[in-house]
Chain A
Amino acid sequence: MVLPFLILLALFNGFLVVTSRVINARLGTHVSAAGASFWNHFVGSVFLALIVIFLGDVDGGRVTFTEIPLVLFLGGFIGASYVAINNFVMPKVGATKATVLVIAGQIVLGAIIDMSNGQISNLNAVILGILLVILGVWFGSFKRK
């Protein structure tokens, strides 16, 4: 595919992340943070089931459930908690803070996971990046008004 289109598509995917989180957080103000997380996963499952049914073979999915280690099924539980916490926090601190602080936590822990797996090629740059992210989190701790 053409590069400009791909760049737009990847940006659009970032838009999807925020839009999905903001809409679900709005639902959370009506039906509680955990209740909105329930609907997020329910609607998402129905939608993905349709995609798997109609486009399932597009990414060559061959599901062999018996071979999958049980621990890998825990992702859904962790995701449910993440969405609930996000729904709780977003109305309090706003979309921008909720979004970039989640990215901060995600990227730093992700970097630590990669480091412990020895998958980092440029350690100094990663440490500089982590310091920048921490500086960013600190900027947000200033009192308003």
Chain B
Amino acid sequence: MNKQIYAAGAVGSGGLLALMIFLNGELARYTSPTWSSFIAHFVGIFGSWLLWKLIVRNKNIWPYSSGTPLWAYLGGVGGALIVVVANITVNSSLGLVGSLSLMILGQACLAMLFDLTGWFSFEKRKLMLADVLQVICIVAGSILIIWSGG
């Protein structure tokens, strides 16, 4: 039962991501993809600080205060690079359709590898048949949608 709520949260946050990409895409038309990502990240500092202040309050977010490994703070670097790399592939012969399809494929493959190996200190997870079918259906459906768009 609880798992369903987490799953719904993941799907819902994907919807937020689509809205964000739409807004950032419009913003990029006024500026550039990299500038747009910078502005979105910068605004996001205040957005997430506000979220933390309103929801979490008492937990410490400062480095070293909670025995947190330093590398765990560097996730944002990857997130920042995404738009820069996408800017290269989307404007190449791959185009938007090819870039998005390959990105989705890359995400699904690496996520499965992370679950199977337990890298980054998450627990190892076995993938059941239903999990693999889920990945195949969502990846195939998504790529079909991308190729049938615009």
By size class, the interface of chain B is 35 or more
Nearest residue (CB) in A for B119 is A22
Nearest residue (CB) in A for B14 is A105
Chain B neighbourhood of A55, CB < 8 A: 34
Please state if A21 and B75 are interface contacts (CB–CB under 8 Å): yes
Q: Quick one: which of A22, A42, A67, A73 contacts B43, CB cutoff 8 A?
A: A73
Minimal beta-carbon separation of B7 from chain A (angstroms): 6
Most buried by B among A43, A103, A104: A103
Interface of B is mostly: helix
Minimal beta-carbon separation of A6 from chain B (angstroms): 5
Please state if B102 and A19 are interface contacts (CB–CB under 8 Å): no
Interface of A is mostly: helix
Minimal beta-carbon separation of A4 from chain B (angstroms): 11
Chain B neighbourhood of A7, CB < 8 A: 94, 98, 102
Given contacts A23-B71, A80-B51, contact A92 B32 (CB under 8 A): no
Which residues of chain A have a CB within 8 Å of any CB of chain B? Answer: 1, 3, 6-7, 9-27, 30-45, 47-49, 51-52, 55-56, 58-64, 67-68, 71-86, 88-111, 113-114, 119-123, 125-126, 128-137, 139-142, 144
Q: What would 9 more interface pairs be, CB under 8 Å, given A10-B99, A84-B51, A102-B13? A: A6-B88, A36-B75, A37-B51, A45-B76, A68-B31, A84-B48, A102-B17, A105-B15, A111-B145
